[in-house]
Amino acid sequence: MRFAVSLLAVIAGTAAPRAGVAPPRPPIHHYQIASTDPGPWPRILGSIGLHAAGAASCAAHPCVFVVPAGAEAPSEERFRELVERGSLLILEGHSPLARTFGILAGEGKPVPVRGVMDIHDASLDIVWEKPLDIAPATLPSHAQVFVRDRWTKAPLAAGIARGAGGVVWLAASPGTLGYERYPYLPRMLTAMGLRPPVKSRDLWAFFDSSYRLRADLDYLALRWRDAGIAALHVASWHYFEPDPVRDDYLRRLIEACHRRGILVYAWIEFPHVSAKFWDDHPEWREQTALLQDAQLDWRKLMNLRNPDCARAAAEGLDRLAGRFDWDGVNLAELYFESLEGHANAARFTPMNPNVRREFEQLHGSDPRALFQGSPDPATLRLFLDYRAGLAHSLQEEWIGEIEKLRAKQPHLDLVLTHVDDRYDTRMRDLIGADASRLLPLLNRHDFTFLIEDPATLWHLGPERYPGIAEKYRPITPRPGKLAIDINIVSRYQDVYPTKQQTGSELFQLVHMASEAFPRVALYFENSILPADLELLPAAAASVEKLDRAGPGGSRLAVQCRKLTGIPWNGPALVNGKPWPFRDETHVWLPAGAWSIESAATAPSLQMTGFAGTVTSVWAAGGSLEIAYRSSSRAFAYLNRAPAPAADIDGQSAKVEARHEGDTWVVPLPRGQHVVTLSLPSR
């Protein structure tokens, strides 16, 4: 057993702490597993930023140690020393090692367990797909019970603090995937003192204000920033027509987000325009194959093939863009209903008069006839192909309309949210989605292609995201413009242990999506459970290397694929130079390889945050050089007011810093630039 040997080496090289001295609790970056079969543990621990480590690293610094049921464990006494010095120990089931921490096998018959309750969300239904007989346990009086059997209240998971570290005990293994039994296992580790070793701040999230009308907007913006959200895509159909009360709310929302470094996009759901647009124009409503008005679920679909309807929608979009300080526009789901395709005439669109006339002129038959008796297969094929072409035509037309907005507001970003039709190839016939025709538009238009995994895939595991990415890269002219949308919803399929993705399942989804795609979006902000917010930024990080180096591990070597926050106290040297990009708790590193160590002093001008993608940042004297790229305008957040004269791409420019609390916010242009900011001369 290779691990048993390396772990014994760790213990042999660990000195006991001095009596009477309470050691500090340092951050934990690594884990080790006491088994040649690691099981689900790399998935669980890797999804929150921990990295596997060898004996030397865990001899010098606290680690997370996992001892699965039946594993050959090293010295019980020395393991107690490791925990007391700050390590966290995860134990499965009953064992001699568990007994050393006061976890005893109780008397009585095993209890059949299926429904459990976790203190991190006691109201959440957690159901094990396969019941398991669990032997009863007696825990120390100071143990914190995290999970109990819902009916007998028998403890199934608990934490025991010991010295600077602690023990997490599980009555059974987490399961093959790592979340079948204990979805909130990562939260148990944070309850025992684990601090996530990495943090991302580049998630997108969809937002519908209907769920947040009475919330404190500054509080929400702070919570979103702390959860790693970089941009909010706001349901703009609520604001399509002017209304003083609603408009004031949205302006305050955008201002609160901008104060916290969060960009705000107008989320457009054409052919749904707005409820008022639907009410005011019954003559322009889309029709289903039953010739009924197409009010399907919450969307009220309009006939954008009608020139008058399209003109009115374009004028309304122009007014919407001009009334608010948007950073971008998300043109989402511009295709047709329904996921049952031709089989459900009551939901099948489009069947408006314009479409019916056009198809009949092209092919000599009214497509309405396809829903009257058995359809002719050849004609049905013609109509489904025509329908997919029509969806593409509409998408291209509305990209053109948004380009007109950009002519007046050059800072606007453009996102196209489009359901996956490469992994689930039925989507083209079901709803008219055809990514292969849309993606070549990236050669002529600058936009992000946000892939939505369809409801048909929601029951599949995190591995689907690398699979989806592989389907799209060969047909994408600019793979860096791909993004993925994770639907955090109550799933209609029979799924376990929870109907909605939460805990370790969610973290694995976000982590694997972040590894596979340059950008990850979450649908939607309100569906993320509170118990998940703390670890969401760690799950979204993409870090290839995280190692201690130098005398006593004084340096931290990091290699990351995107901007990453590393917990750090005080000033830092990065690659040997004073580092100017840090906030109160983290040093922020762009993509690349870096070495961090403590510094005596910090640069006088520092950047505490950035809305955009920083590619490099350096400080010299009282100046700060930032290289960045951004699909929308960018914002730099500074600790001090800069001089109004700046340098952008070698040219003199004027910047206007806005004072927000103890931060100065500097708007910067869209695109790829190098900007130099300086302190005012005395």
Tell me: pLDDT of 13 over 50.
no
Count of all residues that appear for the chain in the document: 682
Cα atoms found within 13 Å of the Cα of residue 600, Cβ hemisphere only: 0
Query: Residue 448, Cα to own-chain centre: how many angstroms?
Result: 16
| Interval 202-216: pLDDT, tens | 999 999 998 888 889
Inside any domain, residue 666: yes
The pLDDT assigned to 7 comes to: 44
642 burial type by CB count under 10 A (0-12 exposed, 13-18 middle, 19+ buried) = buried
Residue 357 lies in a domain: no
| Residues facing residue 646 across a β-bridge | 653
- Whether the Cβ atoms of residue 413 and residue 326 lie closer than 8 Å to each other: no
Query: Which tokens in the block code for residue 538?
Result: 């760690």
- Do 540 and 47 contact (CB within 8 A), yes or no? no
- What is the pLDDT at residue 170? 98
Confidence of residue 280 (pLDDT cuts 50, 70, 90): very high
Is residue 421 domain-shared with residue 480, that is, in the same domain? yes
pLDDT at residue 14, rounded to an integer: 41
Strand positions, DSSP E, 380-476: 413-419, 448-452
Clarify whether residues 158 and 275 are in a common domain: no
pLDDT for the residue 574: 98
Q: Round to whole Å and give the CA distance between 86 and 30.
A: 12
Could you tell me if residue 379 is inside a domain? Answer: no
pLDDT value for 117: 98
% of the chain with per-residue pLDDT over 70:
96
Residues 470-487: what's their mean pLDDT?
96
Residues in contact with 598: Cβ distance below 8 Å, sequence separation at least 6, in sequence order:
554, 570, 571, 572, 573
Distance CA 320, CA 680 (A): 38
* Overall average pLDDT of the 390-397 stretch: 98
CB count in 10 Å sphere of residue 666: 21
Q: How far apart are CA 667 and CA 633, in angstroms?
A: 7
Asked if 598 and 566 touch (Cβ cutoff 8 Å), the reply is no
Q: How far apart are alpha carbons 172 and 409 in whole angstroms?
A: 57
Q: For residue range 509-557, list pLDDT tens digits in order.
A: 999 999 999 999 999 899 999 999 999 999 999 999 999 887 777 899 9
Of 53, 72, 55, nearest to 14 by C-alpha is: 55
When pLDDT is averaged across residues 647-673 and rounded to a whole number, the result is: 96
Are 89 and 135 in the same domain? yes
Structure tokens at 75: 């010295």
| 8-state DSSP, 240 | S
Q: Which residue, among 497, 483, 423, has the nearest Cα to 455 in the 3D structure?
A: 423
Q: Which of 539, 574, 602 is the last residue of a domain?
A: 539
pTM: 0.94
Q: Are residue 126 and residue 221 in the same domain, yes or no?
A: no
Residue 37 lies in a domain: yes
pLDDT at 23 over 50: no
Tell me how far apart the alpha carbons of residues 61 and 120 are, in angstroms, rounded to a whole number. 29
Q: Are 254 and 177 part of one and the same domain?
A: no
Q: Is 328 among the domain residues?
A: yes
561 inside domain: yes
Judge if 297 and 423 occupy the same domain.
Answer: yes
Smallest CA-to-CA distance from 73 within 3, 155, 147 is with 3
pLDDT at 16: 37
Mean pLDDT, rounded, of the chain: 93
Q: Could you give the CA distance from residue 338 to residue 320 in angstroms, rounded to a whole number? A: 28
pLDDT of res. 21: 33
406, 331: one domain:
yes
Same domain for 401 and 280, yes or no, is: yes
Q: Is 640 exposed, middle or buried (0-12, 13-18, 19+ CB in 10 A)?
A: middle
Peptide bond just before 174 cis, omega within 30 deg: no
CA distance 148 to 33: 25
Same domain, 135 and 60: yes
Domains contained in the chain, number? 3
Domain annotation covers residue 376: no
Read off the amino acid at residue 420: D
Please say whether the beta carbons of 155 and 182 come within 8 A: no
pLDDT at 18 over 60: no
pLDDT digits (tens, 9 = 90+) for 355-375: 999 999 999 999 999 999 899
661 has pLDDT over 90? no
pLDDT (mean) for 37-50: 97
Segment 118-170, tens digit of pLDDT: 999 999 999 999 999 998 999 999 999 999 999 999 999 999 999 999 999 99
Q: Are residues 497 and 611 in the same domain?
A: no
pLDDT band of residue 458 (cuts 50, 70, 90) is confident
Mean pLDDT value of segment 344-362: 97
* Angstrom distance (rounded) from CA 371 to CA 299: 23
Tell me which amino acid residue 41 is: W
Beta partners for residue 594, in sequence order: 558
Whether the pLDDT of residue 201 is over 60: the answer is: yes
Q: What does the alpha-carbon distance between residue 672 and residue 181 come to, in Å, rounded to a whole number?
A: 46
Residue range 77-83: average pLDDT?
88
Question: Quick one: 534 and 577 in the same domain?
Answer: no
Supply the pLDDT for residue 4.
Answer: 41
Q: Contact 415/328 with Cβ under 8 angstroms? A: yes
Per DSSP, the three-state class of 504 is helix
- Residue 468 pLDDT level (bands cut at 50, 70, 90): very high
- Please write the tens of the pLDDT for every residue from 308-328: 999 999 999 999 999 999 999
At 323, phi and psi to the nearest 5? -85, -20
Q: How, if at all, do strands 203-207 and 229-235 pair?
A: parallel
Assign 339 to helix, strand or coil. Answer: coil
Final residue of a structural domain among 539, 572, 600: 539
Question: Residue 38 above 80 pLDDT?
Answer: yes
Domain-ending residue, one of 521, 539, 557: 539
Q: Please, which pLDDT band fits residue 388 given cuts at 50, 70 and 90?
A: very high
CA distance 503 to 488: 12
Eight-class DSSP state of 533: T
Q: How confident is the model at residue 25 (pLDDT cuts 50, 70, 90)?
A: low
Q: Are residues 497 and 606 in the same domain?
A: no
Nearest by Cα to 422 from 468, 363, 490: 468
CA torsion through residues 453, 457, 460, 464, sign: negative
**Packing angle of the helix pair 464-472, 503-516 (nearest 10 deg):** 20
Q: Which domain holds residue 597?
A: 541-678
Q: What is the DSSP letter of 199?
A: B
Burial class (CB within 10 angstroms; exposed 0-12, middle 13-18, buried 19+) of 140: middle
Selected residue with higher pLDDT from 459 and 177 = 177
Per-residue pLDDT, 5: 38
CATH value at residue 158: 3.40.50
Identity of the amino acid at 556 = L
Q: Which amino acid is at 154?
A: A
pLDDT tens digit string along 107-131? 888 989 999 999 999 999 999 999 9
Report the pLDDT averaged over residues 245-262: 97
In which residue are the tokens 């949308």 written? 485
Q: Which residues pair with 674 in a beta bridge?
A: 627
What pLDDT is attached to residue 74?
A: 64
Residue 26 pLDDT: 66
Q: What is the DSSP letter of 455?
A: G
**Which 8-state DSSP code applies to residue 181?**
S
Question: Which of the two residues, 341 and 10, has the higher pLDDT score?
Answer: 341
Helix (H, G, I), strand (E, B) or coil at 487: strand
Q: Write out pLDDT tens, residues 396-440.
A: 999 999 999 999 999 999 999 999 999 999 999 999 999 999 999
Residue 405 lies in a domain: yes
Q: What is the pLDDT of residue 311?
A: 98
Q: What is the mean pLDDT of residues 379-401?
A: 98
Residue 22's pLDDT is: 34
Phi, psi (deg, nearest 5) at residue 234: -95, 130
